[in-house]
Structure 1
Amino acid sequence: MNRKLELYYDKPALRWEETLPVGNGSLGAMIWGGVREELLGLNEESLWSGYERDKNNPGASHSLNAVRELVFAGRCAEAEKLIQDTMLGEFNESYMPLGNLHIAYRNLKESDQVGRYRRSLDIEKAMAAVSFEADGVGYRREIFATYPGQAVIICLESDRPLMELEIFLESQLKCCIREMEDALIFSGRCPEHVDPSYVRKGEEAVIWGYRGRRFSGGIRVLSCDGTVLCQEGTLRVAGASELVLCLEAVRPSSIEGSYDRIKEEHVLDYGRIFDTVELYLGEQKDLPTDRRLEQLKEGEEDNGLFALYFQYGRYLMAASSRKGSLPANLQGIWSWKFQAPWSCNWTTNINLEMNYWPALSCGLKECMEPYFSFVEELAKRGRQTAAVNYHCRGTAHHHNADGWYSTNPVGIPFGAEDGKEGCAAYAMWPMGMAWLSQEFYRYYEYTKDRKFLENRAYPLLRDTALFLVDWLVEYEGYYVTCPSTSPENKYYDKDKNRCSITAASAMDMELTKEVFEHYLSVCAKLGVNDDLTDTVQERLARLWPVRIGSRGQILEWLEEYPEVEPGHRHLSHLYGMFPAELWEGDQKMTEACRISLNDRLENGGGYTGWSCAWIINMFAALKDGENAWKYLYILLTRSTYPNLWDAHEPFQIDGNFGGTTGIANMLATDRGGHVDILPALPRQFASGYVRGLCLKGNKTVDIRWEDGSAVSVEFHDADEPDLDSK
């Protein structure tokens, strides 16, 4: 029997999407596993282009009333142009790769016979390893990122003292390296600005200057049984059978003691998080992971691979989001391009939120602290955005954020005077905080941490509700959002113009309803009753209702417009079904959601990894196990790279987290005050067990099932909450 949770391969990585990631929340490394040269792609979460700047736009408030008048007059294309010309701010900055660490084996020649190669990632211990034989001599490497020690540790061994190594760092950043007796110390700075790759590319996209963020770190020898010499920016090792290196960046490392002690401390720390949930769907095949994926595509059964994928998502969360770090971005913490896809930022119209979907249900609540701290900082900046751009109280955030906590609507290229054509579809969406704040409420639902509710959830929900109260305007006897978009989607107006601007998009109204309901719920629990609660109750009673169209579908916009892309990747108008619970028990809205989802899929929807993951969760919420399975299978066979990363493509980590959540929601859900056991179990997962899935009320559940039916269900009280409640 093989139940070891491990990704492994019988050859080195040939492209970045085959490398193996390790991380401690802030420091990450990608392991290529070469024989004659190991290459580690390095990232540190705080390395962003840019510097502290105010990107809010006072001119936006001057245009707001005119935009609203145009929308209500049915002249939405004109409203959209006015927004792009006058209401946006500059694009976000970009996440920068730290560099590449090279470890060259000078004693190994091209003519050496190499065999018994193995490259692996043990996700039960968060340890990567490489082993092989060259001319009959065994070589081994172990690599891990320790959270207690705040460093990447690299152990290199050989059967005989033959290792002759050259170790050096290269970086695309401005970086200087100086030598010490047994260490290389590096320091440098990031550019003042880097454009997103979809705005400008190459040298014209980069401005260096002297105001970019500075960084420093080092590569030092912890132990070596050979000789070590540092010269010309290179560590040279000779006559060694064992070498242990420590790489640190930005944060000082607290590494001390033997390698075995450092490793043991790391495994214990990681296991405290990872070991809380166990899933068994079948044995783990003793085959390289890429071959297992190929066999799955060919129709072979491999339920163990789905369990491995589930746990890999949990591993990635623990590796990219720990207390004291920034939250996981579009690529977690792993990025190798100077102009990463979408700047590797935090996109908040689905992607950042999806990153944290598994945190509560899958035993990872400790990993939410970076999310909460980040959103709270965004909320501080968002108060200025709300006031300057819209003359509103409270806090507002749009669809992008970066390492400088930008909250403005993006769209103006650096140095330009107006917005990029078409960008209102994604930029003019001041509902970011409405979505981000909901995880604060859900955290309380799961943990019942009253101090968290009072000190962290309530202030954020109050500021969010305050903004929405001011943002809403009256239209035909109802309150609506205006201008409004359905994130990144477009429709045809009566003149066949492609438009994104409207009033009262379904998602806007669903988010507003959820914020208001949750705010009032918190106020009731805390005994708050003031002018704002009265106003919120009045607005809630008169919110524009989400409407059903001629085909029984949910109307995405104010009117029933023809869609530019009927199979669009976003399911924004279905937010009320999942992740929200607005339509639990409402058969009419549930059926409308099902029709709308099928409309998307019949027109080619779900073609990105994260969109496919959202679909899995949507079908789980609809208790449709066979379709949940269908899209889980599609996710692994069409939208997964050889290293099990999600393929948008390119790589985006949200699909991994969404996929993990989808599997959990097929097995147990806690929605609308009701716990469902095996609500969407597909026939392919006929038998299995899960231990430790989390439910609301600080509970966990263990389930064992056979032939599609539960044979054992046990509920347990969970541990006390472990986040800062302030």
Structure 2
Amino acid sequence: MFAIYIRRSVLFFLLTCPAFVYGQNNRVQKLWYNQPSGKTWENALPVGNGRLGGMVYGNVVDEIVQLNEHTLWSGGPNRNDNPDALAALPEIRQLIFDGKQKEAEKLANKAIITKKSHGQMFQPLGELRLNFSGHDNFTNYYRELDIERALAKTTYQVNGITYTREVLASFPDRVIVIRLTADKPGSLSFDASFASQHTRKEVKITSAKDLTISGNSSDHEGVKSAVRFKGIARIKTEGGILSASDTSLNVKGANAATIYISIATNFKNYNDVSGDENALALSYLNKASAKPYSAILNPHIAAYQKYFNRVKFDLGKTDQGKLPTDERLKNFRNVNDPELVTLYYQYGRYLLISSSQPGGQPANLQGIWNNKMRPPWDSKYTININAQMNYWPAERANLSELHEPFFKMVEELAHTGKGTARTMYGARGWMAHHNTDIWRATGAIDGAFWGMWIAGGGWTSQHLWHRYLYQGDKAYLAKVYPILKGAATFYADFLIEHPKYKWLVVNPGSSPENAPAAHEGSSLDAGTTMDNQIAFDVLTSTIRAAEILKRDAAFADTLRQIRKRLPPMHIGQHGQLQEWLDDVDDPNDHHRHVSHLYGLFPSDQISAYRTPELFSAARTTLMHRGDVSTGWSMGWKVNWWARLQDGNHAFTLIKNQLSPLGTSKEGGGTYNNLFDAHPPFQIDGNFGCTSGITEMLMQSADGAVHLLPALPDVWPAGSIGGLLAQGGFEVVNMKWSEGKLTTLEVKSRLGGNLRLRLPNALKSVNGKPMQKASGENLNEFYRSVEVADVVVSPKAKLTETNLKPTLLYDVPTQAGKSYVFAGQ
């Protein structure tokens, strides 16, 4: 009898202890904690459906769900071009050519930087607050974010009663839903209210007992608010009594309750705010609230998993996986916790799915989650790196559809940017400076040191080209070709001959947010390396697109002639890739921006096999800059070290990034909810690291699908499936052991030659011998473009690049078929 009692007691513990039940089952896919968030927003857990974002605090007595809606921005339609720019342009250019960059910067501040709005702000709606009076003395507390099901959950016990809360942002139903239950009938009582920092707002209860909040966003920098918002919370109870006061809803003695939250604005597009926020919010709410919770939950999970389940990733398990996420984060630098890497990787994919959906706005500096009326950097779109970084995982991590909001923004910038190109620079085509917002402003902001950068349009347009390289859709390419052509046309008009070197250069230009001492601390210059690299990519992609579509032959030939006259990359006296046209780099410069390595990643102009000298110089530059930096910068560095095929160094950056904020006084890190810390929170570091981990395991930018190019020693065995490579190749399944491939399955969506670069020999399971590759890859999606011969300083000492040996195979493929290989 005693043994039976013991077994029953153990079983009761396993079934009733929330930390065991939720923390152990499928632990790889969950963030979980044994304490509430308290007042710290960065402890809360994010849910989102691309339109609505919620931060779930998991507090017991005073629960908070902080709310965002993707179009709730300050201001309204506006332009911020400076018409004085065109007249001042010749003088600014001459000052730069004369080596008077600081004087040029002063003039640019007067004539180029906007005299109007410097960009509008992404703003929160407010908070839904739930008060559970009498729940102070709780036990068995547990909360989690299940990123496999896009569901946040909190459980705890009070007086022997288990209370459970589930929160989701429904993808199909466009509402946030909160499900509240108690395992004892009649035990659920709480009050619900809205709180908001908006000054122009009204909170009230309707006759139908809906809790509503309505109002206007903020005026900002001389732009009057044109955005009206409406939020509605509706509570449906099972048992109990629902009553109302002036500004809150009260539930007493219920068995369960479901709260449906709908939010909408009058925003229709960047130039149209004629929508009806009241009708929209009510229509979403009425449709959703007519459904029971299960009818919301199951379609939500299915819609989410359509994206999430495409990639499976396993690096093995250790006992660290049994600990709460915040404890694992504290331990990560000093212990082996491969599950935290896979969790962080998939969390990046979760965040992109949750903050960027077709038809919505693209993920901004904070994705879709912001609790401040005046957020850092206005939570805008910084397009000198950060907005692009948000979408680096989209294609390679098999989330291509989620790229669509970014493409839509680029399409809209191509419209607004035509006026900026014409008004400010007398140029055809379109352009954008370093920052934009929901109103698609393209003028120069924030001062010439930051804002005098003309490549925002050029860089963002390359995402359209990369989509084609991955998907191979010629109809899509034809649709976006005018945008590519417009970006190239701007460069054709804007580039000017350098009087000393006779190259065509961007002037004025800059290397974002950095400045050499030789330029008196000015970031402005002519022919910076990043400007040259982006110009090269814009011209090249437009030439290729014109060839594929068989149009604009004469224009493409003009672009070829221009491309020949771009400055080559330079290796300076310290063996570094020069950031500037002149050899003025400081090897002790540890600036967070290393923009001139754009050519290494995300571009493929610098190659281990085609440009070994540049490859060596890029490595030297990264060594000079150091590892620890702001969060997003470390995310970019993971990608660079992956491209340099140094997996151990890439993993060092992952360890630096996955360190609790404050571990290093020199840089960022990660908050307890695994949000990236710039600091403050910027989501680009999450996305950048997810991209970098992908690059460590698979690359397809240098003429072949390169597998395990940067595998660190700490990942000797593992598996991943679902990654996408250029040319429509899907790595359906890849397993490795002792650093060598053991199993590989590749599906060819488009057909054509599959060139594989591998760390060890494979054999085809169908018995066909593997064909060693030679010469150029004949697959058009892998065509290499030769960059100009590098200029090397006579003082430079180049370090030898010691790459691990690889094998190169060609596999002819047919569209729709899969090819399976095994290690030898």
Structure 1 and Structure 2 fold alike (TM over 0.5): yes
Secondary structure of 1:512 counterpart: helix
Percent sequence identity over matched residues?
36
Q: Give the corresponding residue for 2:168.
A: 144
Q: Distance in 2 between matches of 1:24 and 1:54?
A: 30
Q: Report the alpha carbon displacement of residue 551 of structure 1 after superposing the two structures with TM.
A: 1.4
Q: Report the alpha carbon displacement of residue 178 of structure 1 after superposing the two structures with TM.
A: 2.7
Secondary structure of 2:670 counterpart: coil
Secondary structure of 1:579 counterpart: coil
Q: Give the corresponding residue for 1:556.
A: 579
Change (3 A) 1:211 1:653: closer
Q: Give the corresponding residue for 1:229.
A: 243
> 1:362 is aligned with what amino acid?
A
Please point out which of 432, 442, 450 is paired with 2:466. 442
Please point out which of 618, 624, 637 is paired with 2:659. 637
Structure 2 residue 201 is matched with structure 1 residue 175: yes
Q: Report the alpha carbon displacement of residue 630 of structure 1 after superposing the two structures with TM.
A: 1.0
Q: Report the alpha carbon displacement of residue 212 of structure 1 after superposing the two structures with TM.
A: 3.5
Q: Give the corresponding residue for 1:287.
A: 323
Q: Distance in 2 between matches of 1:447 and 1:99?
A: 40
CA contact (8 A) 1:324 1:370 kept: yes
Q: Distance in 2 between matches of 1:640 and 1:678?
A: 26
> 2:491 is aligned with what amino acid?
L
Q: Give the corresponding residue for 1:275.
A: 309
Q: Distance in 2 between matches of 1:564 and 1:164?
A: 63
Please point out which of 619, 626, 647 is paired with 2:648. 626
Q: Distance in 2 between matches of 1:677 and 1:507?
A: 28
Spell out the pairing of 1:56-205 with structure 2 (5 A cutoff): 56-89=81-114, 90-106=117-133, 108-110=134-136, 113-160=137-184, 161-173=186-198, 174-180=200-206, 181-193=208-220
Please point out which of 227, 235, 242 is paired with 1:213. 227
Structure 2 residue 563 is matched with structure 1 residue 536: no
* Cα deviations by residue, 1:7-62 (Å, 9 ceiling, x for unpaired): 00000013111110000001000011111121011111111111222211110111
Q: Give the corresponding residue for 2:332.
A: 296
Spell out the pairing of 1:230-629 with structure 2 (5 A cutoff): 230-250=244-264, 251-252=280-281, 253=284, 254-255=287-288, 256-283=290-317, 285-297=321-333, 299-411=334-446, 423-456=447-480, 458-475=481-498, 476-493=501-518, 497-563=520-586, 566-584=589-607, 585-601=610-626, 605-629=627-651
Q: Report the alpha carbon displacement of residue 698 of structure 1 after superposing the two structures with TM.
A: 1.5
CA contact (8 A) 2:465 2:477 kept: yes
Q: Give the corresponding residue for 1:680.
A: 710
Q: Give the corresponding residue for 1:717.
A: 748
Q: Distance in 1 between matches of 2:159 and 2:646?
A: 56
Change (3 A) 1:677 1:109: closer
CA contact (8 A) 1:613 1:658 kept: yes
More moved, 141-150 vs 695-704: 695-704
Q: Distance in 1 between matches of 2:55 and 2:231?
A: 18
CA contact (8 A) 1:619 1:625 kept: yes
Q: Distance in 2 between matches of 1:398 and 1:230?
A: 51
CA contact (8 A) 1:507 1:574 kept: yes
Number of aligned residues? 686
Q: Distance in 1 between matches of 2:237 and 2:144?
A: 24
Secondary structure of 2:259 counterpart: strand
The gaps in structure 1 that reach 5 residues or longer are 195-206, 412-422, 721-726
* Cα deviations by residue, 1:336-382 (Å, 9 ceiling, x for unpaired): 11111111111001100000000101111111111111111111100
Change (3 A) 1:377 1:350: same
Secondary structure of 2:571 counterpart: coil
- The TM-score normalised by the length of structure 1 is 0.92
Q: Report the alpha carbon displacement of residue 129 of structure 1 after superposing the two structures with TM.
A: 0.3
> 1:479 is aligned with what amino acid?
L
* Cα deviations by residue, 1:392-451 (Å, 9 ceiling, x for unpaired): 10011011111211111013xxxxxxxxxxx32210001001110111111101011111
Q: Report the alpha carbon displacement of residue 221 of structure 1 after superposing the two structures with TM.
A: 1.9
Secondary structure of 2:252 counterpart: strand
Q: Report the alpha carbon displacement of residue 719 of structure 1 after superposing the two structures with TM.
A: 9.9
Q: Report the alpha carbon displacement of residue 109 of structure 1 after superposing the two structures with TM.
A: 4.8
Q: Distance in 1 between matches of 2:729 and 2:135?
A: 57
Change (3 A) 1:609 1:560: same
More moved, 280-289 vs 300-309: 280-289
Secondary structure of 1:575 counterpart: helix
Q: Report the alpha carbon displacement of residue 564 of structure 1 after superposing the two structures with TM.
A: 10
* Greater relative contact order (Cα < 8 A, sep 6+): 1
CA contact (8 A) 1:183 1:230 kept: no
CA contact (8 A) 1:446 1:698 kept: yes
* Cα deviations by residue, 1:521-569 (Å, 9 ceiling, x for unpaired): 1111011134422221110011111211111211111212254971111
Q: Distance in 1 between matches of 2:473 and 2:128?
A: 43
CA contact (8 A) 2:314 2:720 kept: yes
Q: Which runs of 4+ in 1 moved over 6 A?
A: none
Q: Distance in 2 between matches of 1:486 and 1:170?
A: 43
CA contact (8 A) 2:47 2:150 kept: yes
Q: Distance in 2 between matches of 1:381 and 1:222?
A: 46
Q: Distance in 2 between matches of 1:81 and 1:564?
A: 27
CA contact (8 A) 2:587 2:625 kept: no
Q: Distance in 1 between matches of 2:527 and 2:612?
A: 23
CA contact (8 A) 1:118 1:130 kept: yes
CA contact (8 A) 1:22 1:30 kept: yes
Q: Distance in 2 between matches of 1:451 and 1:374?
A: 19
Query: RMSD of aligned C-alpha atoms?
Result: 1.6
Q: Report the alpha carbon displacement of residue 306 of structure 1 after superposing the two structures with TM.
A: 0.4
> 1:579 is aligned with what amino acid?
P
CA contact (8 A) 1:158 1:241 kept: yes
Spell out the pairing of 1:658-673 with structure 2 (5 A cutoff): 658-673=688-703
Secondary structure of 2:727 counterpart: coil
Q: Give the corresponding residue for 1:418.
A: none
Structure 2 residue 65 is matched with structure 1 residue 46: no
Q: Distance in 1 between matches of 2:630 and 2:595?
A: 15
Q: Distance in 1 between matches of 2:404 and 2:585?
A: 42
Please point out which of 686, 704, 720 is paired with 2:735. 704
Q: Distance in 2 between matches of 1:453 and 1:7?
A: 39
More moved, 170-179 vs 336-345: 170-179
> 2:417 is aligned with what amino acid?
G
CA contact (8 A) 1:48 1:403 kept: yes
> 2:648 is aligned with what amino acid?
E
Q: Distance in 2 between matches of 1:532 and 1:447?
A: 26
* Structure possessing the higher radius of gyration over alpha carbons: 2
Q: Report the alpha carbon displacement of residue 311 of structure 1 after superposing the two structures with TM.
A: 0.3
Q: Distance in 2 between matches of 1:719 and 1:545?
A: 35
Please point out which of 27, 34, 47 is paired with 1:10. 34
Q: Distance in 1 between matches of 2:129 and 2:587?
A: 48
CA contact (8 A) 1:489 1:565 kept: no
> 1:39 is aligned with what amino acid?
I
